[in-house]
Structure 1
């Protein structure tokens, strides 16, 4: 087997591991969207529903369009299923691993594939990349497009051809439409292309001149100095004439690249000009940052209220820019004073929501995933960061300028970031470069190459400003508490699964003692409930509620327990929670609760939570308390346990489907593989149909219409019940 075949097999294995790792994280229960995800999801749903970009008529900024379009296409492909809509992003994440492999190959000063394989392995197992594959965020799409553009430039450097320049411009233009930060790279790329072409021409001319110079050098000593001067003037004139003729090939690649980027971005910019009466190139986030993050006198809530009251994104951006510049003129030193904090923010490790795929912001990560995150996320990040400067010096040994271009992007992005706004996740904008460079460094370590003192000192000078904040500000206390909590929780889960109740309780108590989180108390409550100690279960659930009153899990589990005991009013109060949106309670309860089987559900009465999914908060229509469904909704109903099992059941529903245009609405009702289609109208009616007595999930599918409040409404349901049918 040749080395090339072995490398290809190893790369295939790395991609398989990367895919399995990403699918494992994706297969967890659907996480609760946080940060920019909420905005992206709403805009994507608007696009699918035909509402266009109406979201930004009242939002605080205008966002770059490509990722919302990507997510909208994913939602359309997944038939509106948000969980499955993450799969195209997961495929992009796999492609990114392959692109990082290619990037490391382009940077490697040797012909060996080992640096590229190391880089691909780092990208494959890095938990940050695996997690972001399932997040509804733009970082994975940006990283893929930007890396593809870099690889096009690397290929052009070897082979030439304007086709590769056009492809690079296409990738960079799309990257700009994903995150506009890529704009600052375009002038650097243009200058690099010009410099590279001049270098190519000079290299060719110097080779020819060196041969001529050796031939004429011996004769020049025999001639007077005055005779040599005109000759050199003549040579200079010829060189200048040659250079003039070379201007077109020198500038052509840069011009083609910039023109391609303009062509890619122009449709969105022109759309903005027509829609808002003034032009916005891509987005207005920069204006927002200038006001919101430059020590404003107003709170963020006040800033958001002011901006969201302005209907036009152009006027919004002008207001934000004016307020930010006013504050900056009042205190110009603020520009410099912010730099250390923004620099540190770029390199810090923070325990924020998008570190894990969690059903709620207050949820604890699964114990195993918390431990793996410390190794495959935090530790691996530090190892990549520590090795990247050494890899950069190795890549520069090729003297082909490509590594210099990548370094310029990292420097330019960091410089722009510290002057505006930075977060830890912004490392994604250049993480692919750090990973590729780290692959080179660790390959050198495996080859036991000795470094001279000067390169080591240079690498340390590049490394320490980033590494020291990452280590010094690392959340060590959070890590220690989390490790003990995770180990004890995992032990408790294993004991509970084996029926060792006392040992499980001891482990859960140890977890709560190490880190008193709501999920720790809920684990104790669930254990007590499974063992029939409902009094203790209620006490632990209330401890969890006290720990974090807005936590949906505490309210839902307490409400479910009280409902099971017949304490209906107390259950309704618990389900309402504290500072909880009803939609959040509906969604979480259906995904995470396992309520007692019921054959009848009164929809919208406050006790239906956990029995229905894909429905909206309760409302009153024609004096009937009910809920609207989305295009795909579910009911969790079971046949009465007190009667003999029947082969078939009768499903009855009190249901309606009002529409603004009063058109009839088709509804498909499915259970297992059996589906029934009916037609509904605006008036309430009771429908009955036969369904198999299999499983407990009933699916309702119907077309939707867009309500003024941005909801996509299907049918409206009052109650549903199952009746056994006997021969």
Structure 2
């Protein structure tokens, strides 16, 4: 494929300075497209089927929380690796000023994602013109993966913004021919730093910031120099050495504070150490991640640990190079392929009817289907589209090949492809906007002016082979019977069927047991939620043996089965059996066990209105971690968990009331333990949504009693809510977000 971008003349851009400067006018179509991009991202935010953190979200959140507390980078001393710092610094800054408010994070990322659409439009506009730029930005605006990324706590959104910003600055620099300045210097500063030089400096800074967001940019810097040489021509390579040197120097200066920090801490300058882990894991075909972590964590120094990862990976490579090559080819093909089960798609348990068509359908149409269409057109456009002095075409080719090489050496993950996918849009848009030119190119491969015959033949063959090869690769993962189209259909059908299970749950909670069983009978009987719902209904009807048998026959790999069985055993008075169910590993690993129990396990009035937190509190507590002990001889307690999307959601305690019970106050036994560097939190207490006041906790257990309002009018229950003023993450050895410790709570008459 020929990528020399000096052979095709480009119409000069209108002057942007001096007397001939045109009056700026807003591009209404572009504004509409950016508005559409915002709407698509807000829709993804609204419809996201949250099931807890996915992939690296939890780690980013936890490091950001530690930074916000002012405890620095100590997390990495105990972690498996050191990550680039910029994204977690952004999170830490937001958490510092706004608390652990995920909505603020998502809002910032949404703005960055929309701004990235504009940056793509700007580069495409200067390269291919307004129409192609508008279509390109439209494709980027509606592409579903980027809308989802703006919702997730992952570094890709920030990285794409900074990377595209760097490339825009560098493309502006490349647009100026050597010695050609757009305007006369107006002052001493402009003489020292002409406009092209400022573009070059800004590009180097943004490139460095990109590397501080995702470390893959570090090894890509030499290819930036290659891009400049290809874009401006090899004959004048000496003239382009200074700008290449400037970019490298500015890049090094930008990343040096973090690299020097790591040098002082670990004895070697680096940006991140995930490369050694990933190379070792990739060499093992992406399996045995626990073994990889266990092996590397025997080395405490992070720099030495990364070296060990590469050493282990190389040992596997040299021991069986053919196997490594086979793995590399598979990963290179997977780089282009679809993966319906990727965690970032948020479609876990879609076959059980828990993911709405409002999510599944745009994910299919604007995700997989659009990706295939865009990629086919882009691969054709890479050959058909003309070159320009802005270097978009040559950069796209280099960037694709570079990322394919990374996939070969390490492994392919769907989201690793997204920074490459973003650059497909301009070339797909070019083919859509210029169908006549494309058709003429396909019909007359030997009549293209200005190219040798061999180059024409090669380009024509490549332009046809690449889209066909891509379709061959992606067909099985897209088409029925096992592709994403079929899986989307399965998910949609399951969701509609399981609305009967949702209706059954509602009827069961209302005490309409016969109607609930009728609704359950129309749901999917193979889904555990259906059988658990029927079993709970049977238990409420007194049919304990039938309920236990039914739930016992369904999946025991989920927490809900054990919670339901434990609750039934408690109703029978069999605490030993209940004890065995509630201590199951599945419950301990499910962060939403208490939420499910709160919604599904009916609670009864407590003796003396005292709630002791521990094994048997399921259905009475929400927003807590699993129960635990300080030591073997101490009683159980629970930590309150993270404070929700807004950082202000309290933990809840349920007190069903017997007839005529009128409590006057509530007592809480709390401990506000914090590391020495942090202050124990103030805790605000609520009753049925009304604030009772605030208490200052200490690092010791203490009883706090607050009066209940005389006009509370509790009805059938009182919900006591606990909202600590702050939370903390202990560190890499315990990544839970902890609020305040609660041992018991009591309503006093």
Name the structure, 1 or 2, with higher relative contact order (CA <8 Å, separation 6+).
2
**290, 310, 318: which is aligned to 1:329?**
318
Match of 1:232 in 2: none
Secondary structure class of the residue paired with 1:396:
coil
Cα distance in 1, alignment partners of residues 560 and 347 from structure 2: 12
**Do the aligned residues in 2 keep the contact of 1:655 with 1:717 (CA within 8 Å)?**
yes
**Do the aligned residues in 1 keep the contact of 2:45 with 2:148 (CA within 8 Å)?**
no
What's the TM-score, normalizing by structure 2?
0.77
Match of 1:111 in 2: 130
Shift of 1:688: 1.8
Shift of 1:561: 5.8
**286, 290, 304: which is aligned to 2:293?**
304
Are 1:677 and 2:694 counterparts?
Answer: yes
Shift of 1:520: 5.6
Are 1:100 and 2:120 counterparts?
Answer: yes
Match of 2:707 in 1: 690
Report the CA distance shift for 1:359/1:377 in structure 2 as closer, same or farther (over 3 A): closer
Shift of 1:274: 0.3
**Do the aligned residues in 2 keep the contact of 1:65 with 1:178 (CA within 8 Å)?**
yes
Match of 1:186 in 2: 221
Give the RMSD, CA atoms, in angstroms. 4.0
Cα distance in 2, alignment partners of residues 162 and 57 from structure 1: 40
Cα distance in 1, alignment partners of residues 309 and 365 from structure 2: 41
Report the CA distance shift for 1:563/1:379 in structure 2 as closer, same or farther (over 3 A): farther
Shift of 1:508: 1.7
**Do the aligned residues in 2 keep the contact of 1:32 with 1:359 (CA within 8 Å)?**
no
Match of 2:182 in 1: none
**Do the aligned residues in 1 keep the contact of 2:640 with 2:651 (CA within 8 Å)?**
no
Aligned pairs (5 A) from 1:44-55: 44-55=64-75
**723, 743, 749: which is aligned to 1:700?**
723
Secondary structure class of the residue paired with 2:745:
strand
Cα distance in 2, alignment partners of residues 627 and 422 from structure 1: 40
> Which consecutive unaligned segments of at least 5 residues does structure 2 have?
1-23, 177-194, 446-458, 508-514, 644-648
Are 1:721 and 2:746 counterparts?
Answer: yes
Cα distance in 2, alignment partners of residues 362 and 553 from structure 1: 17
Match of 1:410 in 2: 400
Cα distance in 2, alignment partners of residues 256 and 586 from structure 1: 55
Secondary structure class of the residue paired with 1:545:
coil
Report the CA distance shift for 1:285/1:718 in structure 2 as closer, same or farther (over 3 A): closer
**628, 637, 662: which is aligned to 1:626?**
637
Match of 2:370 in 1: 380
Cα distance in 2, alignment partners of residues 436 and 87 from structure 1: 26
Cα distance in 2, alignment partners of residues 265 and 680 from structure 1: 42
Cα distance in 2, alignment partners of residues 505 and 19 from structure 1: 35
Cα distance in 1, alignment partners of residues 385 and 356 from structure 2: 39
Match of 1:471 in 2: 475
**Do the aligned residues in 1 keep the contact of 2:559 with 2:593 (CA within 8 Å)?**
no
Cα distance in 2, alignment partners of residues 192 and 593 from structure 1: 60
What are the Cα deviations for residues 321-349 of structure 1, in whole angstroms up to 9, with x where unaligned?
Answer: 22222333333344533332111221222
Shifted more, 522-531 versus 41-50: the winner is 522-531
Q: Mark the structure with the bigger radius of gyration.
A: 1
Are 1:294 and 2:283 counterparts?
Answer: yes
Cα distance in 2, alignment partners of residues 153 and 107 from structure 1: 13
Report the CA distance shift for 1:670/1:501 in structure 2 as closer, same or farther (over 3 A): closer
Aligned pairs (5 A) from 1:154-303: 154-158=171-175, 161-194=196-229, 196=231, 250-277=240-267, 279-295=268-284, 299-303=288-292
Match of 2:150 in 1: 133
Report the CA distance shift for 1:676/1:391 in structure 2 as closer, same or farther (over 3 A): same
Cα distance in 1, alignment partners of residues 313 and 127 from structure 2: 41
Cα distance in 2, alignment partners of residues 669 and 297 from structure 1: 48
Cα distance in 1, alignment partners of residues 276 and 162 from structure 2: 25
Cα distance in 1, alignment partners of residues 578 and 436 from structure 2: 62
Secondary structure class of the residue paired with 1:161:
helix
What's the TM-score, normalizing by structure 1?
0.79
Report the CA distance shift for 1:178/1:602 in structure 2 as closer, same or farther (over 3 A): same
Secondary structure class of the residue paired with 2:742:
strand
Report the CA distance shift for 1:659/1:523 in structure 2 as closer, same or farther (over 3 A): closer
Shifted more, 72-81 versus 591-600: the winner is 591-600
Cα distance in 2, alignment partners of residues 635 and 285 from structure 1: 36
Shift of 1:263: 0.9
Shift of 1:265: 1.0
**Do the aligned residues in 2 keep the contact of 1:66 with 1:174 (CA within 8 Å)?**
yes
**Do the aligned residues in 2 keep the contact of 1:651 with 1:691 (CA within 8 Å)?**
yes
Shift of 1:267: 0.9
Shifted more, 10-19 versus 706-715: the winner is 706-715
**684, 694, 697: which is aligned to 1:668?**
684
**Do the aligned residues in 2 keep the contact of 1:602 with 1:718 (CA within 8 Å)?**
yes
> Which consecutive unaligned segments of at least 5 residues does structure 1 have?
203-242
Shift of 1:525: 5.9
Cα distance in 2, alignment partners of residues 495 and 605 from structure 1: 28
Are 1:487 and 2:497 counterparts?
Answer: no
